[in-house]
Amino acid sequence: MAKEYENPAATATIVVERDNKILFIRRKHAPYQGRLALPGGFLNYKKETLERAAQRELCEETKLRANQKDLYLLCVNSSPRRDPRDHVIDHVYVALATRGEPHARDDAAEYVWKDISEIPKRLAFDHNKAVRKYLVWRESN
């Protein structure tokens, strides 16, 4: 079948909170190399759901594991300019429970727990927007 439309890529990002702190990774690669970001990455086309991509990326980057039943879709960020590489639609999940201790792996140079009161002003991509939405969601639940 001929492709009639150009379609954006999809990513899954995940918010993990423990002890009033949010888990970030420091990006090992461009774009935003060296900047803090929420764990996440691209959906494997025709191979997985967004929920599975969120679980996989969390494990690949931090070694933490989250069950699908413990994931909650927080928001979708779709600005055509949110990722400098291309038009990428991000699906942000909250992990209500995780297992294991984090270790920086894959695209993560390191992992960092940041107190909710000390979230950096400049995160990679539009992850500040995702964190703000998470804090509003957190207050209402």
User: How many CB atoms within 10 Å of residue 23?
Assistant: 22
Pairing of strands 9-18, 88-95: parallel
Under a CB-based contact definition with an 8 Å cutoff, are residues 29 and 42 in contact? no
Q: How buried is 68 (Cβ within 10 angstroms: 0-12 exposed, 13-18 middle, 19+ buried)? A: exposed
Is the torsion defined by CA of 70, 49, 130, 36 positive or negative? positive
List residues with catalytic annotation: 110
Helix (H) or strand (E) holding 59: helix 50-62
